[in-house]
Structure formats: C-alpha cells, structure tokens
Amino acid sequence: MAYYQSPRWSAEIADCSMPMTFDTYSNCSFGCLYCFSQFQRAIGGAKDSYLAKEVHPVNVERIKKMFTDPDQYAGQFATYIKQRRVMQWGGLSDQFDGFERKYGKTLELLKFFKDIDYPLCFSTKSTWWTEDERYMELVRGQKNWNFKFSIITLDQEKARIVEKGVPSPLKRLDAIERIANADAGGATLRLRPFIIGISTPTYLDLIREAGQRGATALSTEFFCVEQRSQTLKEYMPVLSELCGFDLMALYKKYSVAQGYLRLNRKVKAPFVKKMKEMCDEMGMRFYVSDAHFKEMCCNGSCCGLPADWNYSKGQFCEALQICKTKGICYWADIKKDIEELHQYDWGRASGFNANSSEKRAQFYGMSMANYMRWLWNNPQAGQSPYKMFEGVMAPMTNEQGEFVKDNEGNLVYIYHKERTL
C-alpha cells in the first residue's frame, strides 16, 4: 500500500503555535466549496487523483516509531516531539471523516497517543465519533486534547450546499456539547472561514449557542480567495448566489493584494469587534487566525489553545502578544523556541511549501530558524511581523529615522495601538 507522508511543517510556520501539523489521510471525504486545501491541492500534476477522492492513510507503525524513538525515526520533528509540544491534527483533511469509518487509522493512533499521553489539538467537522464509545472512552478525561469544531453558519440550507457531506450545524453543536461534557481539554468553536453574506446573518447567534453548549473559545478567520484555483472559479457563482451579491467582485474591490485575495482590515473590523464582545459576554476566550486583528487573541495561539498549554512560543503571534503587553518586543523574547525547534534546512523542511525556485535559491542552505530571523529583520518581506500585522507591530526607529537594533543586530519592534480596534 502507498502511504501518506505526514506530519509536515505548516506553511504558516512564522506565526503558528502548532507548526507540526498532522493528517491521517491524504484526502477528505467532505466537499466544502470554500476549502483552502482543495484550492491548493487541486493545482498541478496530482489534481486528478485528489479531485477523484483517491485516498492513502499514514503508516500507523511509522508514526508510533516517531513518537517512541524520535531521535531514531522522527528526523526534523525529533525535538518537537521530545519537548512534547502540542501537535495540530487535521490541517488538510478531516481525521474523523468518511475515510476514517472505512479504515479506522485515527482510532488506532488515538489509542497510541492516549497511552503516551501526548498533547493534541484536533480540527474537525465530523460528529459521528462523539457518539461512538470506542472513541469517546479515549477522549474522556484527556485534559491535553483540545477539539475545534468548524461551523460557519447556523443556516441549515446554506450549510448543506456549501459544506457537502458535512453534518448539519446543529449536529456539530451537539458534538461540541458532548466533548464539553467529556472532561477533556476543551471544545472550541472554529468559525473559519467567516464568509460575509453566508456567516454574517447568524454568526452572533452561533457564538452564543456554542458558548451555551460548553465551547470555551472561539477562533475565527475570514475567507480568502485563491484566484489560481479552477475549482474556486467553478464554485464562486454558487457562493455568490448564497451571499446575495458578487463575492469575487467584493474581494477584488476590498482586498489588499492581487492573486491571493484577503479583505482589508476596515471591512473586517465591525465583525471582529462584535465577535469579541459576544465572547466576552459568554465568557469565551477569543482568537483571530487572520493576520488582521491577530493582536486581539487572548494569547499567542491563534487556534484557541489556553496560554498554559505547551505550544511553540517561537513565532510572531507570540511576539505580537508580548508587544501588546509590554509595548516592545525583542528577538530574544521568542528566539529560544525558534532555535531549539527549527534547526533543519529551510529548503528540505518536511512538507513545507517553498513557493518558487527563486525563493529556494535565495534561502538555499539557510536553516528554518535563520529564515525566521531573516523575516524578523526584513520588515518589507511579506511574512515579516510588520507586513503580516500591517504595522500594528513595527520596527523602532531613532530620531534620525534609522532602525533601532539589539546588541546582536536584530530589529526591535514596538506596538502601535492606534492601528487596531
């Protein structure tokens, strides 16, 4: 059997609290029209097999070896595993979807991870497993397992059309309640992607309902448009009809870039503000995975993990929180985790998308840790803290307009409160 190669390093490694991300299966049985994974993976030579829903599971025995003897078998992930950092499970596919019902590989791995008490954070839309005792007996009392349930609307009909094959929003709310009552590491409402026109009519009621069912946190991110994706071009008319307006036209008018379209901060601001207010009312922690307004997160894990969990502090979302709290942030504040976790070659980072041959040539021979330091010290780079957070976190300058640097030559960043809500 051909096995799926996972885990991988997240493409958002620069600001990700769980950069080691894992999927049980190479494909997802669901057919969500907005799926970013589908947009990315339905491009290039492998698109036909992906769109045909061909699937390969991971090699369970290989994964077990990685976690029982990381120095021998885990390669780049050895330090991450030995330090027992939280692993994100469910980045490009759903580990509890229809393929799991057929193959059961997630169940095999859950038993193993429970035996070694390894910390995990799950992202899912599936619900059937929360009524299956084989799974729930493993979940109960597992305080270091957190579960994120994706729901973008309470409108049953819109959800049925947009999220093909996915359980209804009400069934997912039921699953949140079952997990909340299982005495595990908490249930999070994942309101991602937030789609104006589809999410907006019910989003505040959705947050309230999730909070009443026991969700302790909300993580949100606005829909982005990948214009290169042929599948998105095919689905956009359906999404526009459900929204009641031309969704592509909205993104082209109010986005801050070309190609990969993200709505600007001004468009997002009123929705983010109301979400935060509703979370405060419900006693829920609030997180924004969007680069815009990420400073409003309760702590440095935009996926919604509590501050005391063992996630990576070596990333720019953590730096942003430090900057917000202290008014200033130094490379030294985040470099420890970066230097410990990412001493592998940038160009050979497992599963990491290097984007282009030009970029690969530019950073050839550089470690991932040094790449992240390069981003820190080059504020015009797209993934630098300055560009990523649109000036909320900006390099300090002296009276002559020159960058202020620490004693190792790294930029010093300060917080600009006036740029946020």
| 271 and 399 inside one domain | no
Tens of pLDDT, residue by residue over 180-224, are 999 999 999 999 999 999 999 999 999 999 999 999 999 999 999
Output the 3-class SS for 27-44: CCCCEECCCHHHHHHCCC
Q: How many domains does the chain have?
A: 2
| 284 and 322 inside one domain | no
| 237 and 334 inside one domain | no
pLDDT band at 364 (very low <50, low <70, confident <90, very high): confident
pLDDT band at 53 (very low <50, low <70, confident <90, very high): low
Q: Which of 244, 261, 296 is the last residue of a domain?
A: 296
| 286 and 380 inside one domain | no
Q: For the residues of 10-75, what is the DSSP string, one character each?
A: -TTGGG-S--EEE-SBSS-S-EETT-HHHHHHTSSTTHHHHHTT---BB-HHHHHHHHHSHHHHTG
Gap between the Cα atoms of 302 and 296, Å rounded: 9
Gap between the Cα atoms of 13 and 247, Å rounded: 29
308: in domain? no
| 288 and 396 inside one domain | no
pLDDT over 90 for what percent of the chain? 86
Q: Is the pTM of this model over 0.85?
A: yes
Token pair listed for 399:
């009276």
Is the pLDDT score of 46 beyond 80?
no
Tell me the mean pLDDT in the region 111-121.
98
Gap between the Cα atoms of 175 and 187, Å rounded: 9
pLDDT at position 354 is 67
1: in domain? no
Gap between the Cα atoms of 266 and 270, Å rounded: 8
Do 128 and 153 form a contact (C-beta atoms < 8 A)? Answer: no
Is the pLDDT score of 173 beyond 60?
yes
Is the pLDDT score of 361 beyond 90?
no
Q: Which of 264, 296, 328 is the last residue of a domain?
A: 296
pLDDT at position 134 is 98
Q: Determine which of 41-50, 99-108, 208-217, 262-271 has the lowest per-residue pLDDT on average.
A: 41-50
pLDDT at position 42 is 47
Tens of pLDDT, residue by residue over 274-311, are 999 999 999 999 999 998 999 999 999 999 999 999 99
227: in domain? yes
Q: Determine which of 48-62, 96-110, 207-221 has the lowest per-residue pLDDT on average.
A: 48-62
**Domain interval for residue 362:** 316-419
| 347 and 289 inside one domain | no
Q: Which amino acid is at 245?
A: F
Tens of pLDDT, residue by residue over 410-421, are 999 999 999 998
367: in domain? yes
pLDDT at position 402 is 97
